[in-house]
Amino acid sequence: MGCMDGKVLVVTGAGRGIGREMALLGAKEGAKVVVNDLGGSVDGEGGASQQPAEEVVETIRKAGGQAIANFNSVADPTSAQAIVQSAIDNFGRIDAVINNAGILRDRIFHRMSIEDWKQVIDVHLNGAFYVSRAAANYFKEQESGAFVHFTSTSGLIGNFGQANYAAAKLGIVGLSKGIALDMARFNVRSNCVSPFAWSRMIGTIPTETPEQQARVEKIKRMTPDKIAPLAIFLVSDLAKGVSGQIMAARMHELFLFSQNRPIRSVHSESGWTPAKIAEIALPAMKASFTPNDRSADVFSWDPT
């Protein structure tokens, strides 16, 4: 008996990396799995291949599990609907969705094109919405269901050259919270996972300097299989009552992230002018400003 026995799980971007490991673990824990993967390149430009998803399905079936492959894109609402429909058509229901599909189009901001922006937003943020929205009515009718959406410290903290990716990933946090609030009365949960793992997407990090090479070698130790247990836990009944949260997995470490709350206030009985803000409010608040750190600045110790 696994924690996903009797459940039907959809995992997007499940042909490789973290998605693959989540599909495999979900099946091992008893789920019937829809292995969705477009089979494209990291930047979304390459031709689609059905092979990655089919190989994951074959691995699951050889281990005695049940799975089907799906090759639809998350970035189109009709196509996203077809991903969810494949679960209904093949397994008769849907119980959990893991929104993992993604691409990267990294550019320093003043060089970022409209297409760089649009493609990343479409796959990550719009894709998470389209697939979640397609599943929402089924969850509502059966009064159960769970979403896990993949965010990133690029959005939660910051990183160079990823304004598009950071915006999408922080937008996903807002989407998850909205789902958690709106669908709580139907016993539907929604959480975010921020992964630390070596994958094709992380493989685009430059390795031109000794420092960059050393950083990548450390990241390679964080294999995708370390992420899967947290995601599968969150979509299983073991996580009953857990919703609207942001968690992270890094090797053998788990993290719970804070969420935006007021941390300092200043009051003026007569109101504010720009000059008065500069004179009174700014000095009072400045010590509490959040520094413009990158993810690597905050997670400065080696993964353990």
Burial class from Cβ neighbours inside 10 Å (0-12, 13-18, 19+) for residue 273 reads: exposed
**In whole angstroms, how far apart are CA 214 and each of 56, 84, 209?**
31, 41, 9
Residue of 145, 243, 237 lying closest to 192 (CA atoms): 243
State which amino acid sits at residue 92.
G
* Sheet (strand 8-11) strand order: 66-70, 32-36, 8-11, 96-99, 145-150, 188-196, 246-250, 253-256
Neighbouring C-beta atoms of residue 204, cutoff 10 Å: 12
Cα(219)–Cα(138) distance, integer angstroms: 38
Which one of the listed residues 130, 165, 198, 233 is annotated catalytic? 165
| Whether residue 130 lies in the annotated active site | no
Show which residues are catalytic.
Answer: 165
